Structures are given as structure tokens and as C-alpha cells.
Amino acid sequence: MRFETKAIHTGLHIANPSKAVIPPISPSTIFEIDEGGLKEGDFHYTRLGNPNRLQFEHLIATLEGGEEAAVFSSGVAAAAAILQALKPGDHIIIPEDVYAGNRILVKEIMNRWGLESSFINMTGLETIEAHIQPNTKLIWIETPSNPLMRITDIAGVVELAKSNGIRTLADNTWPTPVNQLPLELGTDLVLHSTSKYFGGHSDILGGAVVTREKDDFFQQIRLNQKMGGAVPSPQDCWMLSRSTRTLAYRMKGHNEHTLQVVDFLKENKKVADIYFPGVKSHPGHKIARRQMKGFGGMISFLLDGNQQEAIRIVARSKLITRATSLGGVESTWEHRRSSEGDGSVTPENLIRLSVGLEHPDDIIADLEYALG
């Protein structure tokens, strides 16, 4: 079956005895125990497992091509469960412009707990190789990166990591499995903030870890999910399954609109530079073409001007909403550095735009007015 079909049909039959075409939401926190006692795989207590959670875990694992998934109450909770599966004294390599929340998670929480980390530019394999230490246990990939849209060669990093016995993870939140399949390129794990394109409507917070195989490392992540307790509600899991049914078609729209918006921005005199892997002049374009089916819905661009000018322009839009985050049906944009806080490496004149599913002509007309 193709992606679109799997997205629509997967997970519907799991724990759905009434054969409702769309499974009901199961808000119950407890499940009646069989007279013969609890058996492996029985539902027991919702923190440990719930029908709606199992349905969504099955769906997202299938779409990423993994064996299993563990879903969480947010993307950073999923990231924390991965990092906590490492041991104090272990070392990780992670992009210097990694999603800002994950940077703070590593620096302010995990480093205090004994995890060592190197934040580096991950566009060159030689740089990554130079930072490998005997205790390096995980290489964290985020491509395209946020918000600099740098491209990392996933297959290249996997090869390097494998020859050094190191695990790899790709944060696939921005491309989604519609545009990029890291497990197919050899990574061990995929991370998602399902708050973005999976949810797709800016109304659910969630995260997920998908694993290539159910190994000991993933079993530890599963334990962190159940005993760390940052689990999503049955309602949120149900909503996420519902949103995911249309993911392929929403991503097609995001991909297509974004190419049109990029064409407009390229010609605008106020735009000094565009960070988008779909343009030929992007330094990672060749690699992006190889490992991505589409370039996604995110654009960062540098304004010909300073921070004040960038903030002023973002304030002028009438349609594009001034807000952080991404992946909703509505277009949003922001002066990114203001959102990232201390330690940000984002240029002061960078605007980050999440291109939505409004008619592209309306998005472009609003940009034309705001950049005026």
C-alpha cells in the first residue's frame, strides 16, 4: 500500500471491538482485569497504555517505516525520553542550531544530569567525525535545521555513526514522512513534535519516537514514557489519528504553496537572502534533492535591514498571523530570534515563515503588502 492509503486505514482496527468505522475515544483511566488475571498486552491503566494511544502509535510507526512508536505529551517530552535512555557520562553530537527547546533541554537539564554534548555545525561529515569521542553514543540530526535550514546528509552520517558503533536519530518534525524517511536512510530513531504537521491545525501538543527496531534502547524509551509519565491524553491521540488521515494531502499543499512563495520572495528587493533547500543556490540543495521528496512548508529569509525593521515588517501582515510554531493550515511568521532567547545563533534580521494552506495568491499578496 502507498503512503496515502496507509495514512487513512492504519490503526482503525486496534482495540475497536464494536467495529465502529472510526474508533471511539476511550477516556477511561482503568480497564477491567480478566477473571484469569492480567495478561501481557492487556490494557490496565491508561498511563501504561490506552486504545487511542496504541492506534496512533501504530499509525505513526507505519508511516515512518519503523517497528514501533512511543508517543508523548509534547515533542520535548519525547526528546527527553530519548536523552534519558542514555547514561550519565555518555556524549552526544547535536546541531548548534537544533530546535531551541531541545538545546535548552540538553544544556540546562541533561548536562546537569551528567550527559556530555557537542553542539556543532552538521553540514560537513568531516566536522562531525572530528567531534566523535570514545563515549559518543548518539548523533542527533535535524535536517532541514531550524531556523537556518541547513541540510545534513542523513545517509552519510549513518555510515559514519555505524562504523563507530554510534546510534543516530533524526528529528523529522519539519519534513514529515511525506517528504523524508530517515529510517529508510538508515537512522535508528525518528523524533517528532506532533504539535506541528501531524496535528496540522495548531490545536494539539504532542511528540513521538519511532524506532527501526524494538531493541533495548527503545525498551528504555518505552519505560521512560510509562514511568516518566509524559503521556498524551486519549483525546489528543484520537485527534492526532484523525489529522494524520489527511497528512499527505496537507503536505502536498504546503510543498506546492511554499515553492510559489519562494519564487515571490526571490524577486523582492527587501529580501537579502532566502534559506530554503529547494532553491538551487542553497549549499545543501543537492543532498536535499537526494533525501527529500518535497522541500516542505518552512522558509527563513533575511531582511535587508536590522532587527527593528524585521519586527516592524512582521507586524504589518493582515493575513499571516504573528505567532511561533509551524505546520498549521494557517500561515504564521515570526521574528525568530526573539522567540529563541539566550544562546540563539539566529541572525537578528531573520524572519521565519510557515506557509499555510490558504490560497497562495492571498499569502503572496499579504507578503507584498507587509514588505511594501
Contact residues for ligand PLP, defined by CB under 6 A? 74-76, 99, 101-102, 142, 146, 171, 173-174, 193, 195-196, 205, 207
Catalytic-residue membership of 99: yes
Catalytic-residue membership of 196: yes
**Minimum CB separation from ligand PLP for residue 298, in Å?**
9
Catalytic-residue membership of 171: yes
**Minimum CB separation from ligand PLP for residue 227, in Å?**
19
In the complex, which residue's CB is closest to ligand PLP? 75
**Minimum CB separation from ligand PLP for residue 343, in Å?**
16
**Minimum CB separation from ligand PLP for residue 178, in Å?**
15
Catalytic residue among 153, 171, 188, 236: 171
**Minimum CB separation from ligand PLP for residue 75, in Å?**
2
Distance between CA atoms of residues 216 and 268, nearest Å: 52
The nearer residue to ligand PLP, 207 or 356, going by C-beta atoms, is 207
The nearer residue to ligand PLP, 6 or 107, going by C-beta atoms, is 107
The nearer residue to ligand PLP, 292 or 371, going by C-beta atoms, is 292
Catalytic-residue membership of 342: no
The nearer residue to ligand PLP, 196 or 282, going by C-beta atoms, is 196
The nearer residue to ligand PLP, 137 or 196, going by C-beta atoms, is 196
Catalytic residue among 99, 103, 150, 153: 99
Catalytic residue among 6, 47, 107, 252: 47
Active site residues: 47, 99, 171, 196
